[in-house]
Amino acid sequence: MSLEQQIKQADAPLPTRKWTIYAIHHSHTDLGYTERQEKIEQYHVDFIRQALRIARAAHEGTKPSWKGFRWTCETFWAVEQFLKAASAEEKQSFADAVLRGDLELSGTYLNMTELPDERLLGSIHGKAQAYAASIGSHVDSAMTADINGYGWGYADSLLNNGIRHLFSCIHTHHGMYALGRKQAPFWWETRDGRRLLVWNGEHYMIGNELGLCPGALGKYMIRDEFDHQLVEPEAIHDAIATIRIRRYLAQLEAEQYPYAFVPVMLSGLGTDNGAPNSRIIEWITAWNERHGEQISIEMTSLSGFFDRLKQEKLDALPVHRGDWPDWWTDGVSSTPMHTQIYRDAQRTLRKAEKLDPEALSVSRAELDDAEQQLTLYAEHTWGYHSSIYEPWHKNVQLLEIRKQAHAAEASRLAYRALDKVLLAQGGAALYPDRPYRFRVSNLSGREVTELVTLQLDGWEPGALREGVEVVREDTGELLPQQSAHPQTIVTELKLGAQETCFLFLRPLTRGHRPRTTTSNTRLIGADRVYDMDDLVPPASSAGEHPPIRITHNGIESPFLRLTWSENGIRSWFNKEQSREMLRSEDPYGAFTPIYEVTRPADPTDASQVWSTRARMGRNRKGIHADRSAGRIVSARTVENGPLYATVEIMYRLNGLSYFALFLRVHAGRNRVDVSARFHKDSVWSPENLYLSLPFTSGDSAGDTLYADKPGGLVRPWKDQIPGTCLDYACVQEGIAWQDEQSALLLASPDTPLMQWGPLEYGTRRVHTQQGEGEKPEAYAWLMTNYWETNFKATLGGFYEFVYHVFAQPALPEAELASAMRALHDPFVVCRMRPNDTP
């Protein structure tokens, strides 16, 4: 059947209401995907110039057919690039167009993942508002496109910057809209009771599919009988547009949509990063002449649409509190090493700011440069569109290296800022006979006891071969110490909130170092295998018995006892409270690595490698995924001293040629530092790698799981907007389990993704579909390459990811987040000049 025959036979009944369609014209900003990043920047600068020419011609009357043209700058990043390149005349022309309402600013800087912390969100959300104020305007609305959600703190950040409305253009490819329906408004309430008006919208190019842009008739969300190209003859285009618009509005009526108006976003070309198009307003004018009495179309702005929405009775709108986890934030784990570098850079930058809050040693401009690199890495686009199908393509390589360079540059700038601050505050540069004097600053807002590493230069251990004493300068106290490496001395230090102290190393004289001998009571054989319990308690004065006991299948400190077998760490016993901290019903042990791969029939066929991913939907794996859990093959003692002991546990696991857990158990408190080191094979097929976290605070039935996110803690599966993702979320510093008696804190400084839902393939559920009383599981989602586009195709390489586990009595909920953040690098250690050196 020909296309003309299909059009004649198409059923398109008129909707019953008199409708208004509000068309919001924009260009979806992907920093990459369709072209090199610098080319994208060039495009968007010129898009604004094009929009200005159209708007000026319409305003001045030289092009009457363009009257009513509106252009929404989806991201302020594009405006920022334009202003850098623009002449004085162009800048004034742009300001005039914004003040007239022909061009509009969105409060969005870029479409982001959930990597940014609260401070970075606030910074980028203030940029559009600052510019608007400089020209006598105000930004009240923001839009996002592609991304499927945001952390709860996103709403706070917008409101803190004077932005009252958010238009969310979700993209359901491997994602889904919230609330169970799109094209629906609601109030998003913050923790402190403020409300953001949100429009939970359609795909950001639905207007193209409806036919509002000649030459860009898309077919993506609408899957009807018209199998056409993007460019059609005018008559055919108009006929298809009429059918689709009528069907779309009739469907809204059938679904009891309450309004007689609906917004649609559209691009001037059938692509992301598309140009403005004056033909849209011409087509709209022609449509209104033919159909306006029944269905009129008006080109408008974000604020214009929200002004129309607020004419309705909004008091009856639903109010939702909680997190809106982004389905698309999982891209951060397709480049796990660079995400690790990003997160370290973000924390390092905050350290520099806390040490120098007045920016006396490092300028605000330098800090802003580091934040800009963080922002560009955290933007949602992760690579070129053919990254999976043809990973060898030049553009795939170019975009990947440029994207990853943002994390590297953010790291360089953050560390340079910290170095400058420390040097200005008395840090010692490298010179002969540098004193063994260190400043230790607790940047946490709470008292912290921490193992502190004092780093020596490569030639210095020779001068200290007889040993040293670690002395606290202000009290003269000798601190305990342990050496894991000739160039490091580890001591334990307690500091109050924001407290600073100085330590120095005092060399010992020859013969002062204590010597040890063999024990007569410890039941360890000449083979060095310790697989029997001692009959005689160790003598406290003997000195040869460390406070931590290590056997072939476990490790025990005064505070906890861990035991393992071939199938993993199966017990994490809190001796302080006589409570087991692992859920007995969980199939995996603590920190057991779990590998998944979904193999195509031919894993060397690019089309199969691509199509296998394309069919995954929201499962992130195929129905035939091969899942394997690591099996322990050996364990050995790495070190054991007065402050801590370290054991290495080796695992055998598919997809990895090497995997080892290093457990550093503290002697002085209920804490374990876990390091996962591994060598990942390079595999083209879609993969996932997890670490199981089957923890509980002790009462697995009564505890609550918390996740640290920008703005504060959230309770997964509780503090969420209905219809949002249950399976995973991006966290900041970690997670915690707490009941009335105790808390277990887990800091995750390197890997931000946490999997809450089951790993098994199946029907994915969204919030409110879980069973009553059902609780989330917990896995650290280390890496993934499942997406058929955009993601890095291979995960191969060497990695090390760190976690910190700490058990303590229950805390007020308000203190849990700060306690969690204080687990990772709360102290800044700096080698100092002598205290009398200017």
**% of the chain at pLDDT higher than 70:** 97
486/532: higher pLDDT: 486
pLDDT in tens, 120-168: 999 999 999 999 999 999 999 999 999 999 999 999 999 999 999 999 9
Task: Specify the DSSP class assigned to residue 568.
Answer: E
Provide the pLDDT confidence category of residue 311 given band limits of 50, 70 and 90.
very high
Provide the 3-class DSSP secondary structure of residue 708: strand
Domain assignment present for 2: no
Confidence at residue 512, expressed as pLDDT on a 0 to 100 scale: 54
Domain end, chosen from 321, 336, 355, is at 321
Confidence at residue 525, expressed as pLDDT on a 0 to 100 scale: 77
Confidence at residue 511, expressed as pLDDT on a 0 to 100 scale: 59
Segment among 170-179, 519-528, 643-652 with least mean pLDDT:
519-528
Closest residue by Cα to residue 339 from 838, 829, 821, 801: 801
CATH number of the domain encompassing residue 138: 3.20.110.10
How far, in Å, CA of 215 to CA of 208, rounded? 9
Domain assignment present for 419: no
How far, in Å, CA of 636 to CA of 572, rounded? 18
How far, in Å, CA of 549 to CA of 770, rounded? 43
Q: Is the pLDDT of residue 714 over 70?
A: yes
Which amino acid is residue 332, in one-letter code? V
Confidence at residue 541, expressed as pLDDT on a 0 to 100 scale: 45
* CA-to-CA dists, residue 142 to 72, 190, 198, 362, angstroms: 10, 17, 10, 32
463/43: higher pLDDT: 43
CATH number of the domain encompassing residue 676: 2.70.98.30
Mean pLDDT of 108-114: 97
Provide the pLDDT confidence category of residue 836 given band limits of 50, 70 and 90.
low
pLDDT in tens, 578-598: 999 999 989 999 999 999 999
How far, in Å, CA of 817 to CA of 831, rounded? 30
pLDDT in tens, 269-288: 999 999 999 999 999 999 99
Q: Which alpha helices (DSSP H) does 394-472 contain, by range?
A: 394-424
Provide the 3-class DSSP secondary structure of residue 785: coil
Mean pLDDT of 740-757: 97
219/692: higher pLDDT: 692
How many domains does the chain fold into? 2
Provide the pLDDT confidence category of residue 249 given band limits of 50, 70 and 90.
very high
Q: Is the pLDDT of residue 106 over 80?
A: yes
How far, in Å, CA of 487 to CA of 203, rounded? 56
Provide the pLDDT confidence category of residue 3 given band limits of 50, 70 and 90.
confident
Provide the pLDDT confidence category of residue 1 given band limits of 50, 70 and 90.
low
- Residue ranges making up the domain that contains 712: 549-821
* Residue pair 76/127 in contact by the 8 Å Cβ criterion: yes
How far, in Å, CA of 512 to CA of 83, rounded? 68
pLDDT in tens, 16-31: 999 999 999 999 999 9
Domain assignment present for 130: yes
How far, in Å, CA of 375 to CA of 109, rounded? 9
Provide the pLDDT confidence category of residue 813 given band limits of 50, 70 and 90.
confident
| Confidence (pTM) | 0.94
* Phi and psi based region of residue 497 (left: phi greater than 0; alpha: psi -120 to 50; beta: remaining): beta
Provide the pLDDT confidence category of residue 396 given band limits of 50, 70 and 90.
very high
Q: Is the pLDDT of residue 506 over 70?
A: yes
pLDDT in tens, 752-809: 999 999 999 999 999 999 998 899 999 999 999 999 998 999 999 999 999 999 999 9
Segment among 185-194, 329-338, 517-526 with least mean pLDDT:
517-526
Domain assignment present for 750: yes
Domain assignment present for 220: yes
Report the DSSP pairing between strands 184-189 and 319-321. parallel
Phi, psi of 645, rounded to the nearest 5 degrees: -130, 145
Confidence at residue 336, expressed as pLDDT on a 0 to 100 scale: 97
| Degrees to nearest 5, angle at CA 56 with 51 and 57 | 100
The alpha carbon of residue 181 and the mean position of all alpha carbons in its chain are separated, in whole angstroms, by: 25
Residue 185 CB contacts under 8 Å (≥ 6 apart), including other chains: 197, 198, 199, 200, 309, 314, 317
Provide the pLDDT confidence category of residue 11 given band limits of 50, 70 and 90.
confident
Domain assignment present for 368: no
Confidence at residue 140, expressed as pLDDT on a 0 to 100 scale: 97
Domain end, chosen from 298, 321, 344, is at 321
* CA-to-CA dists, residue 288 to 249, 282, 295, 299, 788, angstroms: 16, 10, 8, 12, 41
Percentages helix, strand, coil for the chain (3-state, rounded to 5) are 25, 30, 45
Site of tokens 């969690």: 820
Provide the pLDDT confidence category of residue 365 given band limits of 50, 70 and 90.
very high
Confidence at residue 542, expressed as pLDDT on a 0 to 100 scale: 44
8/35: higher pLDDT: 35
Domain end, chosen from 300, 321, 342, is at 321
Confidence at residue 536, expressed as pLDDT on a 0 to 100 scale: 76
Provide the pLDDT confidence category of residue 529 given band limits of 50, 70 and 90.
confident
